[in-house]
Structure 1
């Protein structure tokens, strides 16, 4: 009897719960979702009117203004966003001008006949004005990872992202707060949802959102954090800095072609020395150039590091002077010590010096291109610079003349100078080649003449080689 009463009591309780849930669903307010919480943050955007910032239309590219005005005229929202706004606030001349809009790529193409849609991970519109390209991106949305337009790898990396949204959603998809400032062409104000203006004033680089999640979405953000901190002279926010020490290994999942592009941005932007030191501090340099990092860790003397620093200083100086930079030269310097060690090991095993260096170059480059996919013309130029180093010691006869005619002679000579400055080559040899390049023909003959007692070797005249006769065909 008691058992029957208990059973009936449980049924009544169950019915009450069902009825309660039914009425709660109808009358109660739903709990906010993550995106709705984010939207609550978005509503607190701060608007900085023209009187409260230093950006002037006179500083903005004429073609970028055309894009903004024409999108506005077509009744679309249009903002300058990202690095160009950040640089304008710093009083710098932006390299590129990027536009964000609520118009889809196809709608942008309808407004601009000189437009091309590119990209797979996220489609963009490029508007062409001669050699200048204005990149126009549609606001990105904050759809969940289950969206059929957004693909996330099991390790957290974002592989494809074509989810469009609103300005408010777009903000939270950007990387750093100082890169999430929007210049509104309608009233010339700056729109700030993330505290980027304050971080800008405090010279702080802070990642938007949870750093662990954001780095897993795209590990290259760790490299970008280093690059921007060095370039801008900003300090990393503690929350942005701390995970880098433990997540450097995530870079191994990034395609080698993309890491090559990032390496060029890191080292060829005029801040190579500071970037190198900061990358090593966080363990990121070892992810990009593991052979080089291993040499720097194990060498008893400091020549390899001094040579690298000098090469980076040379590139930084050329950048500051507005001179051209050749990626192969710096890459050859970055991998010079691994090449030396690999070649020396082969020579000790009995290989001829020339063959040893050729095989060592194949060995070092084959490992490196799996990490940073250097194009063939780059690796070939690196080989040329490397292999010419041993030929500089041949200063008699016709060899100096032939070496002088090599297409990569000047780069190889500069490389030799760097080696000499850091104890890796004979300074007198560099002096000899410096004088030889500037000498007239008479002086060159004297400089290349064999030492006395070896007159039979031709006194610097070009050596003539015999051609071997072809064997006769058997009768």
Structure 2
């Protein structure tokens, strides 16, 4: 597509991306803006970032840019750093058959472990995942090169995988998550042939490194399309490999509190993103894993005889450890998630100065939001407790004193509901020794 055949202007491309493109071109290399940046510009969207592809090797790129660092072992890439802005530059990918043990390697399931075979632009296009990402903007003459019917699919809102879907998903199972994410983000329908292998191949996601899955979860749920992505993930059986503990709760009670909580978490996350409000993974994971945590705490209490409080603390470690096997939650988020959980027990004890002390806790607001969400999911006595806290939060100092002094929450019976009562003594008759109740 020549310059007059499309709507992309250099004014829409970041200055730093243009610097990279022009320096590569002026140094005698081919240089293209590629993938999502071109796709989004053609759709009239603002790209989140701009990626560049070239025939220069990573080492040649590094010689051209002093602000370059080479990253990745599985995929060797160059990052050109401009303060907080990073332009990712990749070398044209070639076919695996053209590589050797040091440049190309797969495991028994067909997943790529090493992929540093270089080629030309035609080969690189064949290596792209979806046709709508096989779009190249040439800085030499400002034309666009489209492969596999990419522009046609973009116009028809169809998401189509390049090559054999089974093979491509086995090469990188994360492509199944990308299919869901792009379908939700771009309002596209997944092509039937592209969709067909997803359900049977979904378990392959269990073999993906947990750290990489964490990044994918942020892209899926923190971009304003969480509700829609959740629906598609459950439809294609992609949710269970990421959140096995949550999925177990949903299977046990498809319309129970866990499902209501999950739906509200996604709705609230989308609402905050659309209102440009901050969202934190700590709260997201604390809310998502609340019912698995509660279930595990009950099991521990029954198995070990621990008090509810001690069983709850033991369960926090168990649940986080199991979840981190599929999604590696950084400690900077898992630690505050623990705080949010712990405060749920303290909400039950609001007599006297305890309520005022709890109000000063750094994680009070997040924990309070989770309490309200739980109340919406469960109702009953929890709704009454949440209502009391709403009154307390909204009240002035004098009203808070009155509420705290008259609070009937947190009685010893509530706090120690899991502890066994001491059995009553029985009177012994003087005759035959048979007992009679007092």
TM-score (norm 1): 0.82
Q: CA contact under 8 A between 2:246 and 2:289: conserved in structure 1?
A: yes
Residue 439 (1) aligns with residue 392 (2) = no
Hey, what does 1:147 align to over in structure 2? 100
Structure 1 residue 110: deviation in Å? Answer: 2.1
* SS of equivalent to 2:162: coil
Distance 1:431 1:190 in 2: 59
- Kindly report which structure 2 residues correspond to 1:55-134, keeping only aligned pairs within 5 A, or say none: 55-134=8-87
Q: Is the 8 A contact 1:145 1:151 kept in 2?
A: no
Where in structure 2 are the equivalents of 1:320-359 lying within 5 Å?
A: 320-349=274-303, 350-359=305-314
Find the aligned partners of 2:392 and 2:98 in 1 and give their Cα distance: 65
Which ranges of 4 or more aligned residues in structure 1 deviate by more than 4 Å? none
1:145, distance to aligned residue in structure 2 (A): 6.8
- In structure 1, the residue matched to 2:239 is 285
1:316 aligns with: 270
Which of 156, 169, 188 aligns to 1:234? It is 188
Paired residues for 1:46-57 under 5 Å? 48-57=1-10
1:450 Cα offset (Å): 4.1
C-alpha distance in structure 2 between counterparts of 1:198 and 1:404, whole Å = 57
> What SS does structure 2 have at the residue aligned with 1:323?
coil
Tell me which residue corresponds to 2:427: none
1:262: Cα distance to partner?
Answer: 1.3
Deviations 1:420-451 (A, max 9, x none): 22235633433332332343332222221146
Is residue 145–residue 152 contact of structure 1 (8 Å, CA) maintained in 2? Answer: no
Is the counterpart of residue 383 in structure 1 residue 383 in structure 2? no
Shift of 1:300: 6.4
Match of 2:250 among 296, 299, 303: 296
SS in 1 for 2:378: coil
1:138 to 91, 95, 105: 91
Deviations 1:154-199 (A, max 9, x none): 2101101111111111111111110110011111111012110011
1:196 aligns with 2:132: no
Aligned residue in 2 for 1:161: 115
Is the Cα–Cα contact under 8 Å of residues 114 and 129 in structure 1 kept in the other structure? yes
- Change in Cα spacing, 1:240 to 1:357, as seen in structure 2 (3 Å) is same
Q: Work out the CA distance in 2 between the residues paired with 1:90 and 1:360.
A: 47
Q: CA RMSD in A?
A: 1.7
1:427 match: 383
Deviation string for 1:191-246 (max 9, x for gaps)?
Answer: 01211001101101111111111111111111111111111110111111000011
Give the equivalent residue in structure 1 for 2:416.
none
- Secondary structure, in 3 states, of the residue corresponding to 2:114? strand
Instruction: Verify the 8 A CA contact 2:39 2:133 in the aligned structure 1.
Output: yes
Rounded to whole Å, the distance in 2 between the matches of 1:166 and 1:279 is 35
1:209 aligned partner: 163
Alpha carbons 2:159, 2:188 under 8 Å: kept:
yes
Q: SS in structure 2 opposite 1:137?
A: strand
Matching of residues 338-417 of structure 1 within 5 Å: 338-349=292-303, 350-417=305-372
Give, in whole Å, the separation in 2 of the partners of 1:204 and 1:135: 27
- Measure, in 2, the Cα distance between the counterparts of 1:300 and 1:218: 31
SS of equivalent to 1:121: coil
Contact conserved, 2:352 with 2:405, CA < 8 A, in 1?
Answer: yes
**Alignment partners' CA distance in 1, 2:109 and 2:158:** 29
Q: Tell me by how many angstroms 1:301 deviates.
A: 4.4
Equivalent residues of 2:94, 2:119 under 8 A apart: yes
Determine the structure 1 residue equivalent to 2:176.
Answer: 222
| Structure 2 CA distance for aligned equivalents of residues 88 and 220 of structure 1 | 24
User: Which secondary structure state, in structure 1, belongs to the residue aligned with residue 127 of structure 2?
Assistant: coil
Q: Tell me if the contact between 2:350 and 2:407 (Cα under 8 Å) persists in the aligned partners.
A: no
Q: Is 2:210 aligned against 1:256? A: yes
Do the aligned residues in 2 keep the contact of 1:98 with 1:135 (CA within 8 Å)? yes
Aligned match of 1:35: none
Distance 1:101 1:145 in 2: 19
Which stretch shows the higher mean deviation, 168-177 or 350-359? 350-359
Q: Secondary structure at the match of 1:187?
A: coil
Gap runs ≥5 in structure 2: 409-438
In the TM superposition, what is the alpha-carbon distance from 1:57 to its structure 2 partner?
1.2
